Amino acid sequence: MKTLLFEPFQGGHYTNYVEALVDYHRRVHEARGDELVLSLTSEGAASSAFAAQVAPRLGAASVDPSIPPVPHSIALRPTPDGIRTYRRALTTLWRALGAAIERHQPDHLILPSADHITLAARFVAGERSRARIAGLKSTGVLHYGFAAGAHGVAELVKDQIYRQSWRRAPWSRLFMVNPMQVGWARTHMPGLSVEVCPDPVPLMAMPERDEACAVLGLDASKSYIGFVGAVRERAAFRELVHGFLDADLGPDWRLLVAGRVEWPEHKNFLKSDPRVAAARDRIVLIDRFLDADEMAAALSACSVLAPIYRQSQNLSANLLKAVRADKPVIASASGFGGYMVDEFGIGVGLPLDAPEGAPAAFRAARDLSGRYVPGVRTQSLKRFLEPDNFAATLFDDRNETLVPWAEVSMLGGRDEEAPLAR
């Protein structure tokens, strides 16, 4: 069996996907005589992320760095110029995929980030090239285009375009990482065959709490509610900070923001908001990129994690990290965060549309932090999120270790072992 892994993007979760697949193939498939070819850009193959995460795990896999450079800013922007530029990028990607298939003649094609190439299959591919793909076992994973989460006309147009590509996706196996997105697609697009794929979350080796606080220069005698990770546009940052301050949790509680504050509006808020200025001793800001050890330390130091986002339908990798770290969360009460809280009892929902409810949510999370125990369903969810389960799902390895989403969802009901406070 020869597998072609086509990944035109690099860094962050893209490299995490490749790392999980390569490592699993080396340990499980090489002994069977199976082959793996990585089709990457030259930039991706030469990156520091590849050198640190993928190269040590390559084994007998080969690397083909022949995908033309892909702009980091590639995105579907529903304007005339934006669409023309994007169409050119899609054409480049589709031709690169066709050339890789022709060159390597795989038995199985895996596309761990298939959104752009699926749009290419719908809007720029010819029938002959589509037919060639259709005759090949192929696995595509989609991450974007959830219409129920759209905000504004531009996003609605984008999601309409995404949905058109889903209907004509040429992949023999189609996955989405967001279970809400799969549920929506099954309801509104009958006939579309799609399953939930794990978004792989490695289990970090977290230090003991006192050691974690020392790594970050935190006072270990205090308790922390934390937003851990980069603070980007969709973070409900004002609601997070004001909700914490309004809750008045007591003298020993602090709000920890551990990660680079990237969005200008959030930076300006920290500088200009008078309530923030008056509460400097209660807000701990580490405004920089965290390496892996510091990220693990921040997760360990926090009693509660608060991955709260405005575009709440979107999957939150930070929320999934909290699940893997056995930490309760404060999440948006609607959308993905609300779904996870309701389904798995992992914490408390914060009503973004009713800020008067925020103090009660923060107090409930404080009270939950000392007695949170992940229940049976949450333990099953943790196994589902393991990188090996992601890789086994994409390689289509049906064995006793595979945890499909159906097994997680069929357990049904809230985790009774998790004492949810609302």
> Is residue 330 pLDDT above 90, yes or no?
yes
* 422 assigned to some structural domain: no
The percent of residues in the chain predicted with pLDDT above 70, rounded, is 93
Q: Stretch 227-254: mean pLDDT, rounded?
A: 95
> Is residue 175 pLDDT above 60, yes or no?
yes
* 60 assigned to some structural domain: yes
Least confident segment among 134-138, 336-340, 412-416: 412-416
pTM of the predicted model, to two decimals?
0.90
Look at residue 136 in the predicted model and tell me its pLDDT.
94
Q: Which residues pair with 350 in a beta bridge?
A: 332
Q: Which two tokens stand for residue 112?
A: 């761990």
Look at residue 412 in the predicted model and tell me its pLDDT.
59
Range of the domain at 10: 2-196
> Is residue 413 pLDDT above 50, yes or no?
yes
Q: In terms of domains, do 251 and 351 share one?
A: yes
What are 27-54's pLDDT values in tens digits?
999 999 999 999 999 999 999 999 999 9
Supply the CATH number for residue 359's domain: 3.40.50.2000
What is the b/e burial string over 200-229, where b = at least 16 CB atoms within 10 angstroms of the residue's CB?
bbeebebbebeebbebbebeeebbbbbbbb
Question: Would you place residue 298 in the very low, low, confident or very high pLDDT band (cuts 50, 70, 90)?
Answer: very high
Strands 173-176 and 62-67: unpaired
Q: In terms of domains, do 192 and 168 share one?
A: yes
> Is residue 149 pLDDT above 90, yes or no?
no
More confident residue, 132 or 378: 378
Distance CA 192, CA 341 (A): 28
Look at residue 151 in the predicted model and tell me its pLDDT.
59
Q: In terms of domains, do 179 and 218 share one?
A: no
Q: Which of 54-68, 180-194, 329-343, 397-411 has the highest mean pLDDT?
A: 54-68
> Is residue 419 pLDDT above 50, yes or no?
no
Q: Is 131 exposed, middle or buried (CB count within 10 Å of its CB: 0-12, 13-18, 19+)?
A: exposed
- Total domain count, the chain: 2
Q: Which two tokens stand for residue 103?
A: 């060159």
Query: Last residue of some domain: 196, 226, 255?
Result: 196
Q: Which two tokens stand for residue 299?
A: 């997760």
Query: In this structure, are residues 385 and 323 in contact, taking their beta carbons and an 8 Å threshold?
Result: yes
How many Cβ atoms are within 10 Å of 360's Cβ, its own excluded? Answer: 17
Question: Would you place residue 312 in the very low, low, confident or very high pLDDT band (cuts 50, 70, 90)?
Answer: low
Q: Stretch 5-13: mean pLDDT, rounded?
A: 93
Look at residue 365 in the predicted model and tell me its pLDDT.
97
The percent of residues in the chain predicted with pLDDT above 90, rounded, is 71
Whole-number average pLDDT of the chain: 90
Q: In terms of domains, do 135 and 235 share one?
A: no
Question: Would you place residue 105 in the very low, low, confident or very high pLDDT band (cuts 50, 70, 90)?
Answer: very high
Query: In this structure, are residues 387 and 202 in contact, taking their beta carbons and an 8 Å threshold?
Result: yes
